[in-house]
Structure 1
Amino acid sequence: MSQKPGQLKMLPINAIHPDPKNPRTDMGDIDQLAHELKSVGQMDAITVYPHPERESDYKIQGGHRRHAAALRAGLTELKCEVVPAPANADMALFTEALSTGTNHLPLDHLGQSQALQGLLTEGKTEAWIAKNFNIDKAEVKPRARLASQPKVAKLHERGTIDLLTAADILDVETETGDGSLFESVVDDLESSRWKQDQHDVTRLIEQKKANAKRNVLRVELTGQGAVEIDSENRYSGRWSKTDAVLSVEEHIAAGHQFDVSTPETVNWWAKAKMKAKQVSPERKAELELVRRLNGTLPTSKVARQQFVVSKIQDKKALSDAEDRELFADVVFASDSLTEARKRLVAQAINLPYPEPEGDESEYSEPVRTRRSIWEEQAFELVYKMTLGQQVRLYAWLQAADAEDMSHKFNLYQRDSWEKAARWKPMATWYQRLIKLFGYIPDRDEVDAMRLAASQDQQGSQGLDVDLPVGAEVTCAGCGQHQVIAADASTPCPTCDGGDA
């Protein structure tokens, strides 16, 4: 990256032009630098080369801050090192920007991202960039991606999010095609006063995705003339859910009202034929809580699974002792690798599990062949995991059946022997997540566990989950309670709405 020294000249400042592609977005304290130029003089020359479009003029390759400060100071000329026009001016500009010495203001995060993206666009490899600019190779592309989204780059610069979380946020618009959803996530994070870990942001993203789907469904139904049932009618005893299999038009014609309980589920309510008992305020509150949980627990499930995936993929997530303890726990609960568990393996190793296409059945020969090939590839990928990664994956597989039902409140109930047997594997998995992985259940998971425990008249032993050591607080912002760890960065990870 070194070049031969150029010729030193004093050039008229009006003959020197900034490069419009300069990645530096933060010029720093220009007033202070202008004062130094006037009082002490210019110590270091700026680097320029003959302007490709303006005869007798020059374009800046390095020294944009000094040029801006000189204009602020009212100087009429600048000391310049005139070098030959580079073969690739953009490459030279980005290289110069990333090579800023310790005596100069370094690029901000957005400027670095734009320079890195520029070098990638010019054909430089991640390995070349990492070697020449002392950047971790794995960070080159994630940091370069921030060039397209200054707001996300700013969140990363101020420490609100890390690079992995930034990548998740940038994927929102790509995955959903919804720019407003992306902006909503960013706006929420901009108002946060605390660092947000990847798990918190995953919850936020998934909840917003779910709300967006619900709203789309509501708009579609109301656009056809359907009426959404309100809370008063839902528990008045004058309306009841109907199991009638009708089209939307037929439901509307019958005078039914709808309720969007989850992003994919619509319940229809019909006027009751017989007057039902009035619902007490306590029972109404309980039913409303169950309804809310059935709408939000799917989000908890997705976020929790993403948390587990991140722990499986991180080679140093648990200590050797914790991995050994986890393995000892799960080895006695071994079971066959069912189709559902193979799909969990597919998530963990990032190798999609083959599904039937078109008119194929689950048991057709092409599907069996593709799945046989997948198993060979999956075996090789799992084989290359560290022992700790394998143990965490295996522990997750033991909870596969319970995880599959954890988006409904019914799984958390244990007020019969049958329900208790169904809940026990999930209770065991929660204990392992909390004790060994450092997982903190969100408010909806805690509410589901507490409500289920309060309904358990037989007092099932060994099925209550020991919540993390910490504090139970009530948020002044949202008015809802939350269980947080003792070292949590914010009293209310759910909404960041204020102190308890």
Structure 2
Amino acid sequence: MSQKPGQLKMLPITAIHPDPDNPRTDLGGIDQLAHELKSVGQMEPIKVYPHPEREGDWKILGGHRRHAAALRAGLTELNCQVVEVPQNPRLALYLDAMSTGTNHLTLDHLGQSQAIQGMLTEGKTEAWVAKNFQIDKAEVKPRARLASQPKVAKLHERGTIDLLTAADILDVESETGDGSLFDSVVEELEDTRWKQRQQDVTRLIEQKKANAKRDVLRTELTGQGAVEIDSENRYSGRWSKTDAVLSIDEHIAAGHQFDVSTPESVNWWAKTKAKTKQVSPERKAELELVRRLNGTLPTSKAARQQFVVSKIRDKKALTDADDRELFADVVFANDSLTEARKRLIAQAINLPYPEPEGDESEYSEPVRRRRSVWEEQAFELVYKMTLGQQVRLYAWLQAADAEDMSHKFNLYQRDSWEKAARWKPMATWYRRLISLFGYIPDRDEVDAMRLAASQDQQGNQGLDVELPVGAEVTCAGCGQHQVIAADASTPCPTCDGGDN
């Protein structure tokens, strides 16, 4: 008699088979569960469906731990809930595993990763997985990637690394093609007891990459018969670096010795006839430190840049307040905070910039004190702006020098290299104003840009500003409104070519 879907029935344990795609890799506590099954009995049925390849047998959809414990306990049959054959058995298996209730052992990190990867493989989107299992969408793909590397998943589970750091580690082999390098990074982290910051792991990865490149270069050179200079010769005064442009064979033939201080370069040393110099132990230690730093600072730079990249990509890296403080620091950077920029900031925040009074000079102590106080107050006001307001202010400041000269036609000209360089920031600012802010240049601005373009003999077409076609503008001379046509070159009809 066939089993109806949803019906509960005791089935022989020999006819029940685990799903080989089960993402639960750690069944955990089987002995204890086996003891409970023998002493208390099976409290909840396992979920099965007709086996697609074994007629009369069953395949487990949910309850792999109970099945394993029953086998350990020596039970001969299990209470089962029979369900219909899922339309997509693998997807159903992953969904059931991820939906494990509080009365059961939840999936470990590796099991979750394998289930998430399985759902993505079966066609579910990152957004769907995130929504149905309360996972941050940005974490779905990184967590899925851990399915292929159990050791990295274990590092994440025990809290040694976070997901972003795990992604960096997983990229090592794909980027370098060096599996031993990946293993070396993982092994070193496995010996670490404390949580590792992403920047420290990035630095570790970059250093191992650099060391691997250095080893390859060193092996290639020694394989051709070259000799690596040792510390004794390096500071003996009998050897000095040579700038001779020779092939490796020619260096070897000349008796030169090599030094690989960085992965990208090789220094060659030649014997010198100069008198031997005595190098003190202190000086030798200093030179060795410089040599080491020249070899490791490139790694620090790469790790630092990668750290910044990760923070830029991470939408939650900083709070809104932190972002606004950072941008306020950029706005008030000392190397770029010219007087022209300060005056623009003063307009934007409605805090008048202190000017000399009476007989005071521009650089008198009272004026400097007032301006110092102004900068403190201005910083606080800029900090309180929204990030969007700060960005718009900063974009304006980028054009401060050009804006300061924009009252003269000379700024619009670009018929020489120097003039083109001077016009470029204003052209950029015009483009932003028109495309993003909806600004419409007035008639005089239009005339200035078109006249400058007609005089350009240098071919600086990249500095042209595309004017809004069909936009209504106001003549600066008579105040009349008119529409800019695509080929507009005539003056305002009312002014009739007059001097406006």
Pair in the same fold by TM > 0.5? yes
State the shift of 1:387 in Å.
5.0
Match of 1:256 in 2: 256
Note the alpha carbon deviations across 1:165-218, whole angstroms, 9 max, x for none: 111111111111111111111111111111111111110011011001100100
Query: Following superposition of structure 1 onto structure 2, how do residues 27-426 of structure 1 map, counting pairs within 5 Å?
Result: 27-313=27-313, 314=315, 317=318, 319-320=321-322, 322-323=325-326, 325-330=328-333, 332-333=335-336, 386=387
Q: How does 1:465-484 map to 2 (within 5 A)?
A: none
SS of the equivalent of 1:333 reads: coil
Q: Which AA in structure 2 matches 1:44?
A: E
Flag the 1:74–1:204 CA change in 2: closer, same or farther, 3 A: same
2:333 is paired with a residue whose SS is helix
Q: Shift of the alpha carbon at 1:55?
A: 1.4
Q: 1:206 to 1:252 in 2, by over 3 A?
A: same
Cα distance in structure 1, aligned partners of 2:97 and 2:292: 52
Q: Distance in 2 between matches of 1:298 and 1:90?
A: 47
Change (3 A) 1:316 1:157: closer
For the 8 Å contact 2:328–2:390, the answer to whether it is kept is: no
More deviation, 309-318/260-269: 309-318
- How far apart in 2 are the matches of 1:38 and 1:45? 15
Q: 5+ residue gaps in structure 1?
A: 336-384, 398-500
Letter in 2 for 1:114: Q
What letter is aligned with 2:326?
D
CA distance in 2, matches of 1:5, 1:266: 73
Q: 1:105 to 1:5 in 2, by over 3 A?
A: farther
Structure with bigger RCO (C-alpha 8 Å, 6+ apart): 1
- Residue in 2 aligned with 1:348? none
CA distance in 2 between counterparts of 1:105 and 1:334 reads: 60
In structure 2, distance between residues paired with 1:213 and 1:142 = 28
Instruction: Give the direction of change, closer, same or farther, for the CA distance of 1:311–1:94 in structure 2 (3 Å limit).
Output: closer
Contact 1:312 1:389 in 2 (8 A): no
TM-score by length of 1: 0.65
Give the Cα–Cα distance (whole angstroms) in 2 for the partners of residues 250 and 387 of structure 1. 61
Question: What's the CA shift for 1:388?
Answer: 10
Q: Which has the larger radius of gyration?
A: 2
For 1:498, the equivalent position in structure 2 comes to none
SS at 2:19 equivalent: coil
Give the Cα–Cα distance (whole angstroms) in 1 for the partners of residues 31 and 132 of structure 2.
Answer: 32
The answer to whether the Cα contact below 8 Å between 1:48 and 1:62 also exists between their aligned partners in 2 is yes
Distance 1:62 1:152 in 2: 27
Structure 1: how far apart are the matches of 2:302 and 2:231?
28
Are the aligned partners of 1:259 and 1:266 in contact in 2 as well (CA < 8 Å)? yes
Q: Equivalents in 1 of 2:145, 2:172: separation in Å?
A: 13
Is the CA contact (8 Å cut-off) linking 2:327 and 2:390 kept in structure 1? no
| Structure 1 residue identity aligned to 2:307 | F
Query: Are the equivalent residues in 2 in contact too, given 1:323–1:388 (CA < 8 A)?
Result: no
For residues 20 and 97 of structure 2, the distance between their equivalents in structure 1, rounded to whole angstroms, comes to: 13
1:5: Cα distance to partner? 6.5
Question: 1:186/1:277 Cα in 2 relative to 1: closer, same or farther (>3 Å)?
Answer: same
Q: Is the CA contact (8 Å cut-off) linking 1:19 and 1:61 kept in structure 2? A: yes
SS in 2 for 1:171: helix
Counterparts of 2:107 and 2:389 in 1: how far apart (Å)? 39
Report Cα offsets for 1:361-398 as digits up to 9, x if no partner. Answer: xxxxxxxxxxxxxxxxxxxxxxxx9559969x99xx9x
Asked whether the 8 Å contact 2:235–2:284 carries over to 1, the reply is yes
Residue 322 of structure 1, CA deviation: 3.0
**Paired residue type of 2:38:** K
CA contact (8 A) 1:315 1:386 kept: no
What is the SS of the residue equivalent to 1:323? helix
Distance in structure 1 (CA, Å) of the matches to 2:318 and 2:305: 15
TM superposition shift of 1:306: 2.1
Q: 1:142 touches 1:163 (CA, 8 Å); kept in 2? A: yes
Mapped to 2, the partners of 1:234 and 1:390 lie a distance apart of 53
CA distance in 1, matches of 2:40, 2:287: 75
**1:97 and 1:258 mapped to 2: Cα distance?**
59
- Cα distance in 2 between the residues matched to 1:14 and 1:242: 79
Provide the C-alpha distance between the structure 1 equivalents of 2:391 and 2:82, rounded to a whole number of angstroms.
59
Give how far 1:328 is off.
4.5
Compute the displacement of 1:129 (Å).
1.3
Q: Is the 8 A contact 1:315 1:388 kept in 2?
A: no
Q: CA deviation at 1:53?
A: 1.1
- What secondary structure is seen at the aligned counterpart in 2 of 1:330? coil
Unpaired stretches in structure 2, ≥5 consecutive residues: 339-385, 399-500
Kindly provide the amino acid, as one letter, of the partner of residue 323 in structure 1: L
Q: Which residue of 2 aligns with 1:20?
A: 20
2-structure distance, mates of 1:7, 1:107: 27
Amino acid aligned to 2:155: L
Separation in structure 2 between the aligned mates of residue 325 and residue 138 of structure 1, nearest angstrom: 28
Give yes or no for contact 1:226–1:252 (8 Å, CA) kept in 2: yes
Distance in 2, matches of 1:142 and 1:51, equals 34
1:261 offset after TM fit, Å?
Answer: 1.0
Distance 2:121 2:293 in 1: 47
* Greater alpha carbon shift after TM alignment, 305-314 vs 209-218: 305-314
Q: Which is worse superposed, 301-310 or 267-276? A: 301-310
CA distance in 1, matches of 2:122, 2:36: 36
User: What is the CA–CA distance in structure 1 between the aligned matches of 2:47 and 2:222, rounded to whole Å?
Assistant: 64
Task: Determine if contact 2:5/2:84 at 8 Å carries over to the other structure.
Answer: no
8 Å CA contact retained: 2:6, 2:81: yes
Distance 1:77 1:212, change over 3 A: same
Matching residue's letter, 1:188: E
For the 8 Å contact 2:228–2:258, the answer to whether it is kept is: yes
- Cα distance in 2 for partners of 1:67, 1:59 equals 11
